Amino acid sequence: MNNELNHPKRCPWCGDAPDYQAYHDQVWGRPVYDSQDLFAKLCLDGQQAGLSWITILRKQAAYEEAFFGFDPERLHAIQGAEREAFIANQMTNAGIVRNRLKIESVFRNADGFIAIERSGTQFSDFIWQFVNHQVVDNCPQSMADIATDTEASKAMSKALKKAGFNFVGPTICYAFMQATGLVNDHLAFCHVRQVLDTAKN
Please classify residue 101 by burial: count the beta carbons closer than 10 Å to its beta carbon, then call 0-12 exposed, 13-18 middle and 19+ buried: exposed
Bridge partner list, 183? 136
Please indicate if the annotation marks 190 as binding a ligand: yes
168 vs 46: CA distance, rounded Å: 6
Please indicate if the annotation marks 186 as binding a ligand: yes
Please indicate if the annotation marks 11 as binding a ligand: yes
Q: Helix, strand, coil % (nearest 5) of the chain?
A: 60, 0, 35
24 vs 28: CA distance, rounded Å: 5
* Residue 70 Ramachandran class (φ > 0 left, ψ -120 to 50 alpha, else beta): left
Please indicate if the annotation marks 139 as binding a ligand: no
Angle (CA) 38-69-65 rounded to 5° is: 140
22 vs 156: CA distance, rounded Å: 28
Bridge partner list, 155? none
Bridge partner list, 8? none
Annotated binding site for Zn(2+): 11, 24, 186, 190
Annotated binding site: 11, 24, 186, 190
